[in-house]
Structure 1
Amino acid sequence: MVDRTYGVSQTTSSQSVDAHKVLRNTYMLLAMTLLFSAVTAGAAMAMGVAQMNVFIFLIGAYGLMFLVHKTANSAMGLLATFAFTGFMGFTLGPILSAYLTLSNGPQLIMTALGMTAATFVGLSAVALITRKDFSFLANFIMAGAIVLVVAMVVAMIFNISGLALAVSAGFVLFSSALILYETSQIIHGGQTNYILATISLYVAIYNLFISLLSLLGMAGDD
């Protein structure tokens, strides 16, 4: 009689090792891209770059993101990843410069940064410790992304402060769901490409930080 249990055990162990490798590579690349974004944001601030037009930003961001997805299975994927995250950091520079002109600007930035870090660590820990499958969030994330992008553009064009507040709050929920979903995908073998995993988590962290900073600024009438 053939012992099938041993074969199942080997397969499970192999999947666990692969998931651990993807998770490790993702966190390493994520740390490097966040550091690179901080450098490009600092460069933009030092150069006094003006805030980018929203349509140019969307074209650049989604164009580079498309490039990352097209090259994710090659060495070019790493270059595309740093190009995308560098661009996002560069566009963040003017926003941070604007906040630094406020009397409590540095405090707002540090508070948003701390809240972002705490949220990311907390949600990642939930997914890693409980090992719960959060794949059911996929449809919510897809629909939420479309709704939020449209609402963001409308709020900027027509300068609707109430809608801008709702969009910021929506992005906080969206980003939190994306962190849970992507981490769960890595753990359960649904995501095996660390470049794509890095981009997803980076976008979640970026949107979370910007949204929290916006909410804190609105709370302080800034």
Structure 2
Amino acid sequence: MLELLKNLASWLTSGPQWSGNAGIAHRLVEHLEYSLLATLVAAAIALPIGMLIGHTGRGAFVAVNLASFGRALPTVGLVTLVFLAGGLSKWPVYISLVALAVPVIITNTYAGMAAVDPDIKDAAKGVGLRGHQVLWQVELPLALPLIMTGIRLATVQVIATATIAAYVSFGGLGRYVYDGLAQRDLVQVLGGAALVAVLAVAADLALGGVQRLLLRGRPASAR
């Protein structure tokens, strides 16, 4: 085990390992491209849907069951299916990652909106705020902690799952995992897995910092 850890440390800190198109730096950029683009697209789709369901109360059954659907989604199977249907492109990767992230964001957005005290919404309407004003000025700010939690969870899941890009011959940190398995190179497999884990933790910490900035000045109970 000690020898394996030494080899892993050597692999991660080797200068040549970080350079070139097959180097860690290039693979990291590829992984971030897949992950960030997929999460942004998922947020653009899921946030309006979750807000609409939470604000109107319609379609709550769909929102609740989307979480279970997301957990049961066979990501590799979906990648393979889209790959066979659409040919050699990055679309299978993006479609699968977006499909993974959307249910998490919708569910948390809906939960945050639904958790707003109805008395607060009635009070806002009582002082003259209209429906869309109640949504943007009252419900959304109060739901923000749960919404941000959903985005953080989705981001971490997408980063961890973006290794599937290598499954259909594209790049990213998953390249080390799949190539290492094919070559029976345990050090390379562990190196790729460690890099993905560190990237996921770093992204979660960064989004946690953004969340704290957005919620600065609120009572602790409102976070």
TM-score (norm 1): 0.40
**Structure with the greater alpha carbon radius of gyration:** 2
**Of the two structures, which has the highest relative contact order with CA contacts closer than 8 Å and spacing of 6 or more?**
1
TM-score (norm 2): 0.40
